[in-house]
Structure 1
């Protein structure tokens, strides 16, 4: 089956934002054997939208229209789709009631235009929005299907994964059996990881292996087609065993939605451990990442942001001679940050992050140089030096520092 993806937004056309939705959707479709061989971006102009959608509707069995479902004047996508396919719009009364209640709970003034977010294509069905207000739409007619999705990525991805893909899987499953599994890795360059995976799985047939780089992981998807469920699972198990025999130091979990932070928090809970951190270059990002996991309070009480050397000395009690002798960006300082933070809060695990986020160097150390300390009660303190590539930019260095710290902790907890 072929599909067409139409991305709506003048800001996309002008290059003001990067369109991440279409690539994500195309990758998801590919797992079902659906090829998005036509992809188009159009501005928020009603007539242009109607023409583009009508042409796609006539020539493609599956059309996706992404973006423009808000309540503002330039959000005209749903009306344009309705005109293009010859239908009307219906208000989902239950969802409209929920929107009104949500505004009351938030003490926000609701505008009459917000009712647009409760509408869907008449004769079709609404798609639930797990994290936003605007419904999506699924509409079928004469063997053609059109799917209308919100533009914000945080709303778009859950709707694709939770609402659209299960429906498409049932449709595609009538013609071909597809079984997939996703393995998650961190700390290995994608090209090296995939070259090594290709080498260790060279003798396996019937398994397709692809990769997708996420900000906090490399996802490796294994797919088997046209096999009964049991046989497919056996093939995937065999591939996974071969891959992890080589790549287990960099592996942390299975599943499309697997996050290293979630895995680490769960491990800490299972072991009855509490964690803290002292952060310099990451500025609290590690602690914020831990707190992004539901029920993080079971493993985290608080921590320290000690950006300057004086803060490290005053808040953590680090000996000034350690910093004077070895420097802020050093194994010794990272170790002291981890140990002192753990001792100050009386918890089981402490991490220390110190380094050079960039773009300038510090103490003769180039940007991207990061030391991380890990102190666990009853164990020798570990330190790790990473060179995280300043070319990625300051924020990426900080984010990768956090993921590296999580990886150190994961590996210590799973020994």
Structure 2
């Protein structure tokens, strides 16, 4: 099965947004044993959209056209697709009524162009939009199958999962069973991690399990996949594979499954203990606390924290001894320890974490950019401090700050796990 993904959007062409939809869709297709060998990106010009579709017709049976289903003048995807394949558009009256009712409920003036979101490819099926107004379309026409999908990821992903995948499984299932598990890692370079995983699978006699990696912000996601076996066999082999991998590199694995985040795992561990966490941040400027607060239910484990950017703020707000700052400097294990213990005491939290270091680009206290100290104070445990020497080759200010937060979350996760064990 040959498939092509066509992504529509001038903003993608100009580099104003990242095309996450194509990656997501390609991954979903892979799990169905459908290969998307071609991925094309074009702007909103109808001539370019039609040209992309006509080219795809020459090399793919299954063609996805993604983006450009809104009501604005530059949203021409549905009409351009219809023109390229020689069919008409049809109005879904039920969806049109929903759109009108939505504008009335929101007391918002509706423009005539909004009716565009209720059109689909005549002769095809409507793909319902669980989170938006613009419908998609699924059409078998002559020797091709065409799928038209919206652009915003919050609409795209639910439509793919809920509306599209059942149709693809029904039409293109080849009888091959594909099973997989996702593992989430942080703390090892991707190449080293994958070498370790391949070694662990080979040593365990699990050559039939395929391991693939996907580098994402804040983690490396590894998918273990097995195919052409029964469900019972797949469960057994994947469980064996997970045990082998975790035994080998489990220290760097912070979760198994879908929709796992490191911040979410930390919050989960805190919730299980009915503990709270606080933070004292210098170079990261509140980013760690923002990550904690991004997790649903964070209010149960986080009451507040501190951003103490200047040395004097550390002394005044956290009771870091002036003598410690004078003797060791702010970029030191001693200051990180005092900050972690200070915020923990001030907020009455079971866990206090601190960040102090050099975000760059200039040196500070004779320390180069990328030098970071993290302190972790946990109830009834000695305070830990850990130093990071982040790569000078990648040492932009933002990268150093983000990496510091990621490693701080990982160190906290490790510390909480050790408490459990």
Note whether the superposition's TM-score is higher than 0.5.
yes
User: C-alpha separation between the residues in 2 aligned to 1:65 and 1:138?
Assistant: 10
C-alpha RMSD of the superposition = 2.5
Relative to structure 1, is the Cα distance of residues 180 and 169 closer, same or farther in structure 2, using a 3 angstrom cutoff? Answer: farther
Where structure 1 has 5 or more consecutive residues not aligned to the other structure, the ranges are none
User: C-alpha separation between the residues in 2 aligned to 1:352 and 1:72?
Assistant: 47
User: C-alpha separation between the residues in 2 aligned to 1:283 and 1:95?
Assistant: 47
Equivalent residue, structure 1, for 2:49? 49
Q: State the SS of the aligned residue for 1:30.
A: helix
User: C-alpha separation between the residues in 1 aligned to 2:195 and 2:118?
Assistant: 48
User: C-alpha separation between the residues in 1 aligned to 2:308 and 2:348?
Assistant: 18
Q: State the SS of the aligned residue for 2:180.
A: strand
TM-aligned CA deviation for residue 387 of structure 1: 1.9
- How many residues were matched structurally? 413
* Pairing 1:63-212 to 2, within 5 Å after superposition: 63-85=63-85, 86-91=87-92, 93=94, 97=98, 101=102, 105=106, 111-122=111-122, 123-130=124-131, 132-142=132-142, 144-202=144-202, 203-212=205-214
User: C-alpha separation between the residues in 1 aligned to 2:48 and 2:4?
Assistant: 16
Equivalent residue, structure 1, for 2:6? 6
Q: State the SS of the aligned residue for 2:5.
A: strand
Q: State the SS of the aligned residue for 2:71.
A: coil
Q: State the SS of the aligned residue for 1:213.
A: strand
User: C-alpha separation between the residues in 2 aligned to 1:118 and 1:365?
Assistant: 60
Q: State the SS of the aligned residue for 1:36.
A: strand
User: C-alpha separation between the residues in 1 aligned to 2:258 and 2:166?
Assistant: 14
Equivalent residue, structure 1, for 2:407? 404
Q: Indicate the larger mover: 69-78 or 374-383.
A: 69-78
Relative to structure 1, is the Cα distance of residues 240 and 110 closer, same or farther in structure 2, using a 3 angstrom cutoff? Answer: same
Relative to structure 1, is the Cα distance of residues 29 and 315 closer, same or farther in structure 2, using a 3 angstrom cutoff? Answer: same
Relative to structure 1, is the Cα distance of residues 252 and 133 closer, same or farther in structure 2, using a 3 angstrom cutoff? Answer: farther
Q: What is the CA deviation profile of residues 314-363 of structure 1, one whole-angstrom value per residue up to 9, with x for unaligned ones? A: 22222122112111111111111211111111121111111222222222
TM-aligned CA deviation for residue 261 of structure 1: 1.1
CA contact (8 A) 2:96 2:115 kept: no
User: C-alpha separation between the residues in 2 aligned to 1:249 and 1:204?
Assistant: 21
TM-score normalized with structure 2 length: 0.90
Where structure 2 has 5 or more consecutive residues not aligned to the other structure, the ranges are none
CA contact (8 A) 1:129 1:136 kept: no
CA contact (8 A) 1:82 1:89 kept: no
Relative to structure 1, is the Cα distance of residues 20 and 94 closer, same or farther in structure 2, using a 3 angstrom cutoff? Answer: closer
CA contact (8 A) 1:279 1:353 kept: yes
Relative to structure 1, is the Cα distance of residues 256 and 326 closer, same or farther in structure 2, using a 3 angstrom cutoff? Answer: same
User: C-alpha separation between the residues in 2 aligned to 1:390 and 1:135?
Assistant: 48
User: C-alpha separation between the residues in 2 aligned to 1:399 and 1:315?
Assistant: 24
Equivalent residue, structure 2, for 1:301? 303
Equivalent residue, structure 1, for 2:30? 30
Q: State the SS of the aligned residue for 2:349.
A: coil
